[in-house]
Chain A
Amino acid sequence: MRSFHYERAADTPDAVAACAAGATIIAGGTNLLDLMKREVVQPERLIDITRLDLRTIESAEGGLSIGALVSNSDLAAHRDVRRDWPVLAQALLSGASGQLRNKATTGGNLLQRTRCYYFQDSAMPCNKREPGSGCHALGGATRLHAILGGSDACIATHPSDMAVAMTMLDASLDIIGKDGASRRLRLRDFYRLPGDTPHIETVLQPGDLIAKVVLPPPAGGRQTYRKVRDRASYAFALVSVAARIELAEGRIADASLAFGGIAPRPWHDPAVDRLLVGEVPSAALFARVADVLLDGAAPQEGNAFKVPLLRRTLTATLNELCREIPQ
């Protein structure tokens, strides 16, 4: 690890000022320190925000306000989350290990970096790590890589499970800018697709600090998070689906779906949600939904399996949520 200057933020303005001056925020550190040890990132200045008052989970605006420093464990175990947003608890509990969830924060989880093997290996070219150096994932090992939303410069996936559930739930972020003002942004508008600038992953500006995630009021119907991975625990998603389906009189009254492991950001396709609403659940409908979702998919040789895997995982999830509930 390269040496760096370390300082501890006393309050939010302190953190924002350091951040605007080029410091890298450290909170849980589980991802950042791993990357610093590998010299994938080499910050010269770290600002530790763990002493800031951003650890509260509270009811707000009919929904839930989650401080950026709330740990993944505390969020998954929170009574309201388990009862009213179970998809979020499930997504969190399907990620990482007990030790990591105790450290990892809500804000940090959103900003974790890709698990692309080439990004993680500082000896390899990578357009995300070193813009313009090339991409060896293209034509290389692509088991974890994107089939949707990638570009000729980058096909890395976003690794978070939590962010997929929050995208499905249409969560928003409260961000404090370098002028000290807070602004709200939908998570669905937070991540950028790689295009020819894969090193720019979000719409955050220098000096921005994520202060909170805000969940909208609990919605009706049933919700679930289904994750497919190479081992039963402690592995990143090959494919995952976060879904909420509300049924009324045998038809789908409302639907929201988001997908993980398949794209550079938690994937939400409004056309998929629209296609389901008003319809009677059927195998034919679910096949049409998968067709729309996968329209434009551009798999590599090493991840072509994700096309049928996503189709089947989507179908299984919709079958589960549309099944008659035994009385």
Chain B
Amino acid sequence: MQTKLTINGKSHNLNADTRTTLLDALRNHLGMTGTKKGCDHGQCGACTVIVNGRRINSCLTLACMHDGNEVTTIEGLGTVDDLSPLQRAFVAHDGFQCGYCTPGQICSATAMLEEIKAGWPSHVSADLNAEIALSDAEIAERMSGNLCRCAAYPNIVEAIRTVAQGGRT
């Protein structure tokens, strides 16, 4: 099936079986292996990418359903010479050990900070209608779809908090 995707600003024509998930399309068909496959069932968040501005699990969606969509992967957020603020913060705060979940964590956190800017409440927000106070509990709740088997969570939260508060790292 022919599918047109814009990935990190560049147009790609994919011709793949309808079964191909967006994750497999990125990794196996388009050679973009920054996005990781963990559980392949939407439980771990390693495959998180941003589609049309929203973070999603790329393992739980078919590539052909995204014809014409704009996809941002970890490769589109920063480069080795020009890291994104969250990438810099994850390095500065030691927000990983093995690093396998990190692309998903950073894609997820990038979109999550936009959700906060848009005023979306979370399960731990005390008042659904008030401005969000960005506590560690808020960060943890909003990042619960990204698992880290190395349990670098305290440092991940620290990295995200630093960027959310506009701090330089």
CB <8 Å contact, B18 and A76: no
Interface residues on A, range: 35 or more
A282 to B43, CA, bound (A): 42
B65–A29 touching, CB < 8 Å? yes
Contact among A1, A48, A77 with B119 in the assembled complex (CB-CB below 8 Å): A77
Selected from A34, A76, A86, A99, the residue in CB contact (under 8 A) with B56 is A99
Which stretch (B4-12, B91-99, B136-144, B150-158) binds chain A? B136-144
Whole-angstrom distance between the Cβ of A225 and the nearest chain B Cβ: 10
Determine whether B19 belongs to the interface, using a CB cutoff of 8 Å to chain A: yes
CA distance A37 to B56 in the complex (A): 18
Q: Which of B17, B111, B119, B141 contacts A233 (CB 8 A)?
A: B141
Residues of A contacting B118 with CB < 8 Å? 77
Contact of B45 among A38, A97, A102, A232 (CB under 8 A): A97
Interface string of A52-78 (1 = CB under 8 A from B): 000000000000000000010100110
Which chain B residues lie closer than 8 Å to A232 at the CB level?
141, 144
Q: Is the interface of B mostly helix, strand, loop or mixed?
A: loop
Closest chain A residue, CB of each to CB of B112: A98
Q: Which residues of B contact A29 (CB under 8 A)?
A: 60-62, 65
Closest to A95 in B: B123
User: Are B56 and A93 within 8 A (Cβ)?
Assistant: no
- Interchain CB contact under 8 A, A98 and B115: yes
* Interface residue B38 (Cβ < 8 Å from any Cβ of A): no
Q: Which of B85-128 contact A (CB under 8 A)?
A: 108, 111-112, 115, 118-123, 125, 128
Q: Give the residues from 1 to 55 in chain A that come closer than 8 angstroms, CB to CB, to chain B.
A: 1, 3-6, 8, 26, 29-30, 33-34, 37-38, 46, 48, 50
Give the secondary structure class of A's interface. Answer: mixed
Residue contact B18 to A93, C-beta cutoff 8 Å: no
Contact (A83, B54) CB under 8 Å given A37-B40, A48-B65: no
State which of B121, B140, B141 has its C-beta within 8 Å of the C-beta of A82: B121
A89 contacts B by Cβ under 8 Å = yes
Interface residues of A (CB under 8 A from B): 1, 3-6, 8, 26, 29-30, 33-34, 37-38, 46, 48, 50, 71, 73, 76-77, 82-83, 86, 89-90, 93-94, 96-100, 102-103, 232-234
B residues with a Cβ closer than 8 A to A are 1, 17-19, 21, 40-42, 45, 48, 54-57, 60-62, 64-65, 67, 108, 111-112, 115, 118-123, 125, 128-129, 140-146
